[in-house]
């Protein structure tokens, strides 16, 4: 049955906006007095996890009058016009009383409208693959009227659309294809028609409107049908309209669509590719059959933490790149279609711009340790608790103390400087209503520290502060930053190569602590009992230095990440690296990919594969590892037996 979405009314928009504000999902980014109005701009994380950027023009003369507003969300284009994100922004900006709405044009500037490119979106086909069973999978890239990039995907069998998925809000909780999927299906239909039909017939077919598909069984000869159900005729939302007065609107509650959990039919379909299953091909076993890793199928794998081992030149990095690229490609098959964020700590420079083939394949964003676009003092993404700014200050101080061995007095000085920086921004620890204000940056903290003449500046704290300030590690403009969790969309590479270990460890420690806190605040990922929604991955290449530091957050992410849809991939040269002086990391790993290892010891085999001491199995695995050729490995996935495998390296990925 076709679903309908209730139109949001003014009352329900205000109510939802208040919830966003109370939940800490709203950040005021700027205020500007202009022509007798205050222009307020902000950022809101909605219930679907999307980031919206509302604007509001307000006149306050004893009573608040909203004279104009705009947002990049679909709500602004429904009949209500003033969306919940705008109301959340008004609450965060202090306009919490009665708000009157007046009808004047939108505050979007003309050039901004032009940048958004009108109401049509561009679509291109990224991949078009057919497996041995005749199942065809097509993925695309659609740039919508808000300049957002969406990645629709469609699966067909015998010319009939069996599945479709997209990362847009319209796909969430809907049984019908979103406009991006409709357009992709139309493009597929047009391409097939041009192949199979005369030119005149082909032209007629390609001019049909998106979503205009006949119901029933139709062969793939230039037309497409859905496997049951009726066609969806929804249109892509238009650009934001002018404001409307809401007097007399019915008080109908607005319900945001949420992805629904559905039971799994254990007997239906191919057991290696059920709906909601991500499948990564590790390589081929000795019989020539593919070795498949299905990270979100909890019936096959309890959690996705992975160890990849191999001496230089054995193919370890090529295997790891292939694994990441396939995870990136497999996003549409994630349970509920959840897109992935993949954070790569690149110690050696194997994933940066010097390797354009990888960067382009996964559309990676690469950051040097210069003006990183996240703010260690941002309160966004953290669960609200008493004295939250002081907790953030303490977290920063604890990390500096661990890296630079500060004494108690130096820790107290740094904490006070951070607290003063919050107060200078109007953020008061005991007043939660102030916590959504623009937070301080490291530049603010350093300024307070350096200008305080009572502080001795010839100690290790001074050295640490000078290093962070001189290298400009963190972005100093708070309006150019966001929370780390929000920053992790797609593949993000932190290029650590070429920096001294102190700076490397400092940045990694900060990012892990922030990641862990925001992972907790994001709540549990969705599951239907078998398939789990995956959200984020952390990959550490050359992880020996990483694990030897004993970062507390790393252990917590490894132990607790499964519940939140988070996995960790650790790649290093030796099995012994997983057993640091403080922690045995191997007990948190369920998937092992082991290439040839120099100086291998039998106890290393026992340690990773849990074989009996001096047993026959230990000896067999030991000898096999010592004899492995390049791009060949031994693999153990969960409780499965150890398998010898010919890897699928990154350079061969396009051949599959």
Place of tokens 């069973």: 133
Q: What is the pLDDT of residues 481-539, one digit of tens each?
A: 877 888 898 999 999 998 888 788 888 888 888 898 888 878 889 988 889 999 999 99
CA distance 111 to 80: 25
* Domains of the chain as residue ranges with CATH: 10-108 (no CATH), 122-226 (no CATH), 275-368+508-656 (3.40.50.300), 375-481 (no CATH)
pLDDT value of residue 118: 31
pLDDT value of residue 104: 41
Q: What are the angstrom distances between the C-alpha of 137 and each of 44, 156, 276, 289?
A: 34, 6, 14, 21
Place of tokens 């992975």: 306
User: Around Cβ 213, how many Cβ atoms within 10 Å?
Assistant: 21
Q: What is the pLDDT of residues 214-273, one digit of tens each?
A: 332 222 233 333 443 333 333 333 333 333 333 333 333 323 333 344 444 433 334 445
Inter-axis angle of helices 199-206 and 179-196, to 10 degrees?
A: 170
Task: Tell me if the pTM is above 0.85.
Answer: no
pLDDT value of residue 599: 78
pLDDT value of residue 306: 94
Nearest of 113, 103, 170, 174 to residue 147 by alpha carbon: 113
CA distance 339 to 166: 9
pLDDT value of residue 371: 93
pLDDT value of residue 229: 38
Which of the residues in the chain have pLDDT under 70?
A: 1-9, 35, 48-49, 61-63, 74, 76-81, 102-121, 144-148, 168-176, 189-276, 381-383, 545-546, 576-577, 579-583, 656
pLDDT value of residue 274: 59
CA distance 257 to 261: 12
**Three-state SS for 92?**
helix
What DSSP character marks residue 575? Answer: G
pLDDT value of residue 323: 96
Alpha-helical segments (H) within 425-551: 442-451, 460-471, 484-487, 501-522, 544-548
CA distance 557 to 588: 10
CB within 8 A of 482, min separation 6: which ones?
Answer: 43, 51, 373, 374, 375, 378, 380
> What is the residue-wise DSSP string for 133-147?
TSEEEEEEEEE-TTS
CA distance 151 to 489: 13
pLDDT value of residue 557: 93
Q: What are 571's strand-pairing partners? A: 308, 541
Q: What is the pLDDT of residues 281-303, one digit of tens each?
A: 999 999 999 999 999 998 888 88
pLDDT value of residue 256: 35
CA distance 467 to 457: 13
CA distance 592 to 634: 8
Output phi, psi for 231, to 5 deg. Answer: -70, 150
Output phi, psi for 228, to 5 deg. Answer: 85, 160
The b/e string for 501-517 (b: 16+ C-beta within 10 A; e otherwise) is: eebbbbbbbbbbbbbbb
User: Around Cβ 627, how many Cβ atoms within 10 Å?
Assistant: 9
């Amino acid at each position: 049955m076709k679903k309908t979405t209730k139109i949001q009314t003014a009352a329900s928009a205000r109510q939802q906006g208040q919830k966003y504000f109370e939940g800490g999902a709203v950040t005021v980014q700027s205020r500007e007095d202009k022509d007798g109005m205050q222009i307020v701009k902000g950022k809101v994380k909605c219930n679907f996890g999307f980031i919206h950027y509302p604007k509001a023009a307000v006149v306050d003369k004893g009573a608040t009058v909203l004279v104009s507003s705009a947002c990049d969300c679909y709500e602004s284009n429904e009949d209500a016009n003033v969306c919940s994100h705008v109301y959340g922004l008004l609450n965060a900006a202090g306009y919490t009383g009665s708000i009157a709405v007046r009808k004047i044009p939108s505050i979007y500037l003309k050039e901004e409208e032009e940048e958004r490119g009108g109401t049509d979106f561009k679509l291109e086909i990224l991949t078009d693959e057919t497996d041995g069973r005749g199942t065809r999978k097509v993925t695309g890239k659609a740039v919508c009227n808000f300049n957002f990039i969406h990645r629709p995907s469609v699966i067909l069998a015998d010319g009939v659309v069996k599945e479709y998925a997209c990362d847009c809000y319209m796909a969430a909780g809907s049984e019908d294809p979103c406009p991006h999927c409709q357009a992709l299906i139309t493009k597929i239909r047009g391409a097939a028609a041009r192949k199979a039909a005369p030119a005149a017939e082909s032209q007629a077919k390609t001019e049909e409107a998106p979503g205009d598909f006949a119901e029933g069984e139709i062969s793939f000869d230039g037309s497409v049908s859905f496997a049951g159900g009726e066609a969806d005729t929804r249109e892509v939302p238009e650009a934001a309209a002018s404001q409307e007065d809401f007097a007399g609107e019915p008080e109908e509650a607005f319900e945001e669509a949420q992805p629904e959990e559905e039971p799994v039919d254990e007997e239906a379909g191919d057991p290696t590719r059920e709906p909601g299953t991500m499948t990564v091909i590790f390589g081929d076993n000795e019989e020539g059959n593919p070795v498949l890793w299905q990270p979100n199928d909890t019936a096959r794998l309890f959690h996705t933490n992975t160890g990849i081992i191999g001496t230089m030149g054995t193919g370890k990095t090529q295997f790891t790149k292939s694994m990441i690229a396939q995870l990136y490609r497999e996003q549409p098959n994630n349970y509920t279609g959840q897109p992935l964020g993949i954070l790569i700590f690149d110690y050696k420079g194997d994933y940066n711009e010097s390797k354009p083939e990888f960067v382009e394949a996964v559309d990676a964003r690469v950051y040097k340790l210069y003006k990183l676009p996240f703010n260690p003092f941002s309160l966004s993404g953290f669960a609200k608790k008493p004295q939250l700014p002081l907790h953030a200050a303490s977290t920063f101080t604890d990390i500096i103390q661990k890296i630079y061995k500060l004494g108690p007095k130096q820790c107290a000085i740094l904490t006070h400087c951070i607290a003063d920086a919050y107060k200078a921004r109007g953020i008061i620890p005991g007043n939660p209503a102030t916590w959504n204000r623009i937070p301080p940056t490291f530049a603010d903290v350093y300024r307070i520290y350096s200008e305080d003449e009572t502080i001795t500046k010839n100690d290790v704290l001074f050295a640490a502060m000078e290093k962070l300030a001189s290298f400009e590690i963190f972005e100093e403009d708070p309006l150019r930053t966001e929370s780390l969790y929000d920053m992790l969309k797609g593949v993000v590479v932190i290029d650590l190569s070429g920096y001294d270990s102190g700076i490397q460890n400092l940045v990694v420690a900060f990012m892990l602590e922030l990641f862990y806190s925001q992972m907790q605040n994001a709540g549990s990922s969705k599951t239907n009992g078998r398939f789990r929604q995956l959200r984020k991955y952390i990959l550490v290449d050359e992880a020996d230095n990483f694990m030897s530091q004993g970062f507390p957050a790393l252990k917590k992410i490894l132990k607790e990440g499964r519940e939140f849809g988070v996995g960790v991939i650790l790649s290093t040269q030796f099995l012994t690296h997983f057993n640091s002086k403080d922690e045995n990391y191997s007990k948190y790993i369920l998937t092992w990919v082991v290439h040839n290892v120099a100086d291998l010891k039998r106890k290393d085999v026992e340690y990773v594969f849990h074989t009996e001491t001096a047993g026959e199995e230990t000896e067999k695995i030991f000898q096999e590892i010592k004899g492995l050729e390049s791009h060949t490995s031994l693999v153990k996935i969960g409780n499965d037996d150890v398998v010898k495998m010919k890897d699928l390296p990154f350079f061969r990925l396009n051949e599959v």
